[in-house]
Amino acid sequence: MKIALACDHGGLNLKREIIKYLEQNGYEYEDFGTNSFDSCDYPDYALPAAEAVAQGKCERGIVVCSTGIGVSIVANKVPGVRCAHCHDTYCAEFTRLHNNSNVLALGEKVVGVGYALKIVEKFLTTDFEGGRHERRVDKITAIEKKYCK
């Protein structure tokens, strides 16, 4: 599985820890930046990562900023992306099981590194349940088609 990664300056430390996790666990990844602590704009990095997921270049994405909120808003503007802002493993598991979310948003200043990596693990190792949930995801896709022309 190939993972699209992105962060702004407020998420760089956590992104670096996520990269270590991915490398230790055999995941491929593409890093869309930033790689500097200089102040930058999160849309410049979250957008190309989300687009890589929507275009099928990466199966999943992880975007990080100080809170996770800004990057999640950006990612969810891309048709085909279902980005979940998670701060616990329960949400990470159920957003995969029920929503088939393909991008995870995290906040470096909200979740400690150790727990963030457990969230990442749950997000990457949980499969979509399908069934009745497919109908709901299809309705999300229909909403995108209605408003994203």
- In angstroms, the first-to-last Cα distance of the chain is 30
Residue 65 is among the residues annotated as catalytic for this protein: yes
User: Of residues 7, 58, 65, 86, which has the active-site annotation?
Assistant: 65
Under 8 Å CB-to-CB from 38, ≥6 apart: which residues?
Answer: 9
Contact between residue 104 and residue 119 where contact means Cβ atoms under 8 Å apart: yes
Residue 40 is among the residues annotated as catalytic for this protein: no
**CA–CA distance, 60 with 121 (Å, rounded to integer):** 12
User: Of residues 40, 87, 91, 98, which has the active-site annotation?
Assistant: 98
Instruction: List residues with catalytic annotation.
Output: 65, 98
